[in-house]
Structure 1
Amino acid sequence: MSDPVNALGIIMLDTAFERPVGDVGNAESWPFPVLYRKVSGASVRAVVAGRDESLLDAFVEAGEALQRQGARALTTSCGFLVLRQSLLASRLSLPVATSSLMQIPLVMRFLPAGKRVGVVTYERSSLTPAHFAQAGADPDTPTVGLPKDGHFHGLIEGGEAYDRDNLERELTETVGELLARQADIGAIVFECTNLPPFSAAIARRFGLPVFDILTMGRWLFAGTQAG
């Protein structure tokens, strides 16, 4: 008899854009097995705008299906799903971390006195105090959003081709904007799960630690291996 699957389950939104290594949706991004389950009808716009209440049962069903396949813990492909953290955790029987934003309180504990976490999000106008509350984080956490007319939005919602150079340039400029505005940033958390392909480059460019959905998922999965 073959060994049972021992994997991280990832609940995916209903999207079709390219996902290179580093993206949450590419299995080669992870140093252990992952399982994917797409939720039909879960568009980026519905989740980012917080209009996904009707999809809650479908998210639960996806998590349960991943558990049956052998997942030991669960995460998602969109940091805005942190708004549903309490509800999903209460209905699923596996540990679930809906968003990289849940790392903020822990990272804050690591930082020197006077330093804060800065967040880069897909859409600043849609990231509300309720999202931060569900993450256990200060709603006044310094945050910057990717430009709505930029390359990431064009890729994720506009059907544009993956342009790595322009995506990296846009993200670098966005992080630079945050740091120019907020001099006390000691670490960065990427809300958007499509940003990790650039985490190492951003860490080198600005000399700051960067946390994302991959660091969240690795930590979560490591705990399932104890004993």
Structure 2
Amino acid sequence: MNNEFHAGAASRIAGGKAIYGVPLGILMLQARFPRIPGDMGNGTTWPFPVLYRVVGGASPDKVVLKGATGLLPDFIAAAQELVELGAEAITTNCGFLSLFQRELAAAVNVPVATSSLMQVPWVQATLPPGKRVGVVTVSAATLTPAHLEAASVPLDTPVAGTEDGREFFRVLIKAEKDDMDVDLARQDVVDAALTLAARHPDLGAIVLECTNMPPYAAAIQEATGLPVYDIYSMISWFHAGLRPRRFD
């Protein structure tokens, strides 16, 4: 039973937290690019409050292109800080952190959902025979079998990335500038999804690995005609278990 206050609670209640009413903690990479509504790092994205913690030194370049080498202790420490503050579950703002799923869950002893990729098996279970899930990622070249295995994603899952685009990859990963052309970024992600669909006629649904892609999910769905799932869909589900709706 959680310690949150609600109508009808007993007059004597338990404490023990520093912050109340914010059960979800989000571990953030250290970056300076714009985070528009829909981006996981924009607080207005969520219909519920969240706790953020930036992990120092965890740049997108280090996490996405260099396998997050050496960063596990920093992520564990930050996750533990969030739990000490009052978080009852932990997630992260990069799908490539699936590599740390097992270690983070063991270290904090609360539910952990590191990556949007964890949805792939769930979505696959909903599809008719002959259809499969595909993944759109910020960097197909560095999304390794280890990342997929850590999220229980089949290794033959089709993947397309944004590396060849004009804006999305350059701004988010290469950090070449602090501003972003949203229209160009949207087109990069839509183009990656269209490429994926063209290469794999058996595609039945798409999962977006990158937590900066939810602002473009509707555009992808319209362009491909396929269901699209992302970190927003996953964390909305995740949070629903932490605070089930009351139907009193």
Q: Tell whether the structures are fold-level matches, with TM greater than 0.5.
A: yes
Q: Paired residue for 2:191, among 168, 173, 178? A: 173
Q: Deviations over 1:18-47 (max 9, x none)?
A: 101000000111111111000000011111
Query: Match for residue 59 of structure 2?
Result: 43
> 98-107 or 213-222, which moves further after superposition?
213-222
Distance 1:203 1:51, change over 3 A: closer
Structure with bigger helix share is 1
Q: Paired residue for 1:26, among 16, 22, 42? A: 42
TM-superposed CA distance for 1:161, in Å, is 1.9
Show structure 1 runs of 4+ deviating over 3 A: none
TM-superposed CA distance for 1:69, in Å, is 2.2
Q: Matches of 2:139 and 2:66 in 1, distance apart?
A: 12
- Write out aligned runs for 1:1-20 (5 A): 3=5, 4-20=20-36
Higher-Rg member (1/2): 2
Is the aligned partner of 1:130 residue 2:156? no
Q: Paired residue for 1:112, among 128, 137, 140? A: 128
Say which SS state the counterpart of residue 204 (structure 2) adopts: strand
TM-superposed CA distance for 1:205, in Å, is 2.3
TM-superposed CA distance for 1:50, in Å, is 4.1
TM-superposed CA distance for 1:204, in Å, is 2.1
Q: Paired residue for 2:225, among 174, 182, 207? A: 207
Query: Match for residue 112 of structure 2?
Result: 96
Task: State TM-score, norm by structure 1.
Answer: 0.94
Aligned-residue CA RMSD (Å): 1.6
- Write out aligned runs for 1:142-157 (5 A): 142-148=158-164, 150-156=166-172, 157=175
Say which SS state the counterpart of residue 71 (structure 1) adopts: coil
Q: Structure 1: which 5+ runs fail to align?
A: none
Q: Percent identity?
A: 46
Q: Matches of 1:61 and 1:148 in 2, distance apart?
A: 35
Query: Match for residue 64 of structure 1?
Result: 80
> 21-30 or 216-225, which moves further after superposition?
216-225
Q: Deviations over 1:130-188 (max 9, x none)?
A: 11110111011000010246301221122252211111112111111111110011110
User: Which amino acid counterpart does residue 154 of structure 1 have in structure 2?
Assistant: R
Q: Matches of 1:149 and 1:197 in 2, distance apart?
A: 17
User: Which amino acid counterpart does residue 27 of structure 2 have in structure 1?
Assistant: I
Q: Structure 2: which 5+ runs fail to align?
A: 6-19
Query: Match for residue 225 of structure 1?
Result: 243
User: Which amino acid counterpart does residue 79 of structure 2 have in structure 1?
Assistant: G
Task: State TM-score, norm by structure 2.
Answer: 0.87
Say which SS state the counterpart of residue 150 (structure 1) adopts: coil
Q: Matches of 1:144 and 1:51 in 2, distance apart?
A: 18
Q: Matches of 2:168 and 2:123 in 1, distance apart?
A: 26
Say which SS state the counterpart of residue 70 (structure 2) adopts: helix
